[in-house]
Amino acid sequence: MRRFLLILGAIGCLAAASDPTERLPDPAQEARARALFQQIRCVVCQNESIDDSEAEIAQDLRRVVREEVAAGRSDQQIRDDLVGRYGEFVLLKPTFSAANAVLWLTPLLLLLGAGGWLLWRAHRSPAPIGADALTPEEEARLAALTDDPPA
């Protein structure tokens, strides 16, 4: 039994960011630190933020970030420090830089492009009226076929 508990102990700490021994005394500072944790990657983990991770390095990074928050440094300064040490890889939210412009702008451009094309097409081909519209008899037959009450 003792061996089992020793192993359990060796597996390590199973507490993420809410660990009471890690927390800052000031709730406002703690909240700021927690918000930052969610934007910072646990660099050795597989796609986890340091807020969620139980890895040792995540624990260390949390301590560093909390110390910097307590020392009154701004979010941007803290992020810059981490990028200086680990590279951009450490940020879960990529910076808006020339290299990442494609990443950030593509969704918007796609939406505008495809939306614009749809609008242009709708504008070009006039709305169906007259001969193309269904007669009341056709409407009734369609409703009977599709089990829909006529709108």
Partner 1 sequence: MTAELGAFALALALALSIAQAALSAAARVRRSRVFARAGEGAALGAFLCVLAAFVCLLIAFVGSDFSVANVANNSHTLKPMLYKVAGVWGSHEGSLLLWCLCLTGFGAAVAIAARALPMGLKSVTLASQGLLGVMFLAFAVFTSNPFLRMNPVPLEGRSLNPLLQDPALAFHPPLLYGGYVGFSLVFSFAVAALVEGRVDAAWARWVRPWTLAAWSMLTLGITLGAFWAYYELGWGGWWFWDPVENASFMPWLAATALLHSAIVTERRGALPSWTVFLALLAFTFSMLGAFLVRSGVLTSVHAFAVDPERGVMLLGITGAAAGAGFALFAWRAPTMASGGLFAPVSREGTLVLNNLFLAVAAATVLLGTLYPLMLEAATGDAISVGPPYFNLTFTPLMAAAMLILPAGPLLAWKRGDLKGVLQRLTWAAALAILAALVTLGLNDFRKAWGAAGVGLGFWLVAGALAEVAERVRLFRAPAVESWRRLKGLPRGAWGTTLGHLGLGLFVLGACVETGWKLETAHVVAPGQGFAIAGYDLVLQRAGVVDGPNYLAERGVVTASRDGRLACTVQPERRFFPAGRQTTTEVGLCFRGLSDLYIVFGERRTTADGRPGWLLRAYWNPWARLIFLGPAIMALAGLVSLSDRRLRLAPGKRKELSA
Q: Which is nearer to partner 1, 60 or 142 (CB)?
A: 142
Among 26, 63, 74, 93, binds partner 1 (CB under 8 A): 93
Among 28, 76, 102, 136, binds partner 1 (CB under 8 A): 102
C-alpha triplet 6, 3, 1: angle, nearest 5°: 115
Among 63, 100, 120, 143, binds partner 1 (CB under 8 A): 100
Q: Does 76 bind partner 1 (CB under 8 A)?
A: no
Query: 91: helix, coil or strand?
Result: strand
CB 42 within 8 A of CB 55: yes
Among 80, 101, 118, 140, binds partner 1 (CB under 8 A): 118
**By CB under 8 A, which span of 55-63, 65-73, 74-82, 96-104 interacts with partner 1?**
96-104
Q: Report which residue type is found at 15.
A: A
CA neighbours within 13 Å on the CB side: how many for 111? Answer: 5
What is the spatial distance between Cα 94 and Cα 100, in angstroms, rounded to a whole number? 7
Name the site residues for partner 1 (rule: CB under 8 A).
1, 4-5, 7-9, 11, 13-16, 18-20, 38-39, 41, 46-49, 52, 87-94, 99-100, 102-104, 106-107, 110-111, 114-115, 118-119, 122, 125, 127-129, 132-134, 141, 145-149, 151
